[in-house]
Amino acid sequence: MSSRGLIALMGRPLPISFFDRDTRIVARELLGCIIVRDEVQVRVVETEAYFPGDSANHAFKGKTPRNAPMWGPPGCLYVYLCYGIHTLLNLVTEASGRPAAVLIRAGEVVAGHDAVSRRRGGRLDLIGPGKVGQALAMDTGWSGRPIGDGLSVVRGPAPAAIRAAPRVGIDAADPADVAALWRYISQD
């Protein structure tokens, strides 16, 4: 796409077709996009890709009530509780029947600083997926809802560069999946 075309799309909600692609591509292109929830806006600066056949994927061992949204249509939310405390926000990708999602690992508050500060005990840093979930006031009740229903994602400025790195905190059966560079970090 031309840079003029990208600028024209800036600020517009991402279409469902954006998510109906290879998860690693979606994970990279989500960097710089803005997650909007009421008055709070968070720019995505770090993502991780989880896709079919990936042993670190929650869905790798099969479908359960918890991970069912990953099998659903692209452009939905998959929210789950981690360590009994943190709600982690994922965006479902790829066609129905292919369990895949992008985990939002980190962000920057671009609007709604007061609300985020209240929820985060005065802190505004969103380095870590649990913090992103807290800033956006996510809970598991959001899991399975389509994007646009209370939470939307709009196109924002793409980062100057993207760094790829191994994913964090996973204990996959397959060491190749652990070492794979499926985490993407915005380099501004």
Partner DNA sequence: GCCAGGATCGTCT
Partner DNA sequence: GACGATCCTGGCG
Q: Contact, 110 vs 38, CB < 8 A?
A: no
- 107 vs 112, beta carbon nearer DNA: 107
Could you tell me the smallest distance in angstroms from the CB atom of residue 9 to DNA? 26
The two tokens of residue 169 are 């905190």
CA atoms of 122 and 93, how far apart (whole Å): 33
Q: Contact, 77 vs 137, CB < 8 A?
A: no
Could you tell me the smallest distance in angstroms from the CB atom of residue 8 to DNA? 32
- 6 vs 173, beta carbon nearer DNA: 173
CA atoms of 160 and 110, how far apart (whole Å): 18
Q: Contact, 110 vs 34, CB < 8 A?
A: yes
Footprint of DNA (CB under 7 A) = 48, 50, 56-59, 61-62, 64-67, 70, 80-86, 88, 90, 101, 103, 120-121, 123, 128-131, 140, 167-171
Could you tell me the smallest distance in angstroms from the CB atom of residue 78 to DNA? 7
Q: Contact, 27 vs 102, CB < 8 A?
A: yes
3-class secondary structure, 94: coil
Q: Which of 79, 109, 106, 81 is nearest to 91 (CA)?
A: 79
- 83 vs 175, beta carbon nearer DNA: 83
Could you tell me the smallest distance in angstroms from the CB atom of residue 73 to DNA? 17
Could you tell me the smallest distance in angstroms from the CB atom of residue 84 to DNA? 3
CA atoms of 21 and 105, how far apart (whole Å): 20
- 29 vs 48, beta carbon nearer DNA: 48
- 14 vs 101, beta carbon nearer DNA: 101
